[in-house]
Amino acid sequence: MTGLEIGWQLYLLLFCLVVLLPVLAVWLFCWWRRFPLRPALWSMVGATMLYMLLSWGISSNSVTLEENRLALQAGFYHAQIDNIGLASSAIHVLPQDKLGEYAPATAVNGIRLPGYQVGWYLLQNRKLAFVMLIGPQDEVSLVRSGEMTAVVGGNLFSQSGRIVAAH
C-alpha cells in the first residue's frame, strides 16, 4: 500500500472555506444585529471540528495492489478493479496533458479542488470513470478492465514493468 499526500495549499483552501469565512460571517452578523459574540465563538469551535474531520477524511489516500486486484482509496471515495491481469485489461501511462478523451470533464460524484480531483467523473468520451488525481503529476496511469476505468495520478509501473503504486 502506498499513501498519497496532498499539498498545504489544499489545507489552506479548506480552512478558509470551512472555518474562516463562516466564522467571519457569524461574527459580522452578531456585530451588525448587536447580538452577543458567544454564537460566533461556538461557531468557531464547530467549524474547526468540521475542518479537522474533513482534513482527516481527504488525507487518507492510497493505492493498493493485492493479488489480481487494484484498490484505490481517495478520501471519502474508493474503488477496486478486479482481474487486472486478464488479457482484456489495459494499463497505460500517459502524460497528464495528453489524456485526450480520458480527461475528466464533469464530476458526477466527486471533489474538484486545485490539486485534489477525486471521485466519479464523466470523461471527455462521456464514460464514467474513477478519478484519483492528487497533487502535481507529470504522468497519469489509465487503468481499464471490463467496464471499469480509472484515471490515477502517477506511474503505477516500476522500472521492471510490474505495478507498484502511485507516487
Look at residues 115, 123, 124, 131 and name the one whose alpha carbon lies nearest to residue 78: 131
The domain limits of the chain are 2-58, 61-153
Instruction: Decide if 123 contacts 105 (C-beta within 8 A).
Output: yes
**Neighbouring C-beta atoms of residue 56, cutoff 10 Å:** 10
Under DSSP, is residue 131 helix (H, G, I), strand (E, B) or coil? Answer: strand
How many Å apart are CA 134 and CA 74, to the nearest integer? 9
Q: For the chain, 167 residues long, give each residue's pLDDT as a single digit of tens.
A: 455 667 788 888 889 999 999 989 988 888 888 888 877 788 889 999 999 998 888 888 888 877 788 889 888 899 988 877 765 577 888 898 888 899 999 999 999 988 889 999 999 999 999 999 988 888 898 888 888 899 998 887 754 444 444 43
pTM exceeds cut of 0.85:
no
Termini Cα distance of the chain? 11
String of DSSP letters for 70-96: EEEEETTEEEEEE-TTSTT-EEEEEEG
How many Å apart are CA 111 and CA 134, to the nearest integer? 11
* DSSP conformation class of 19: I
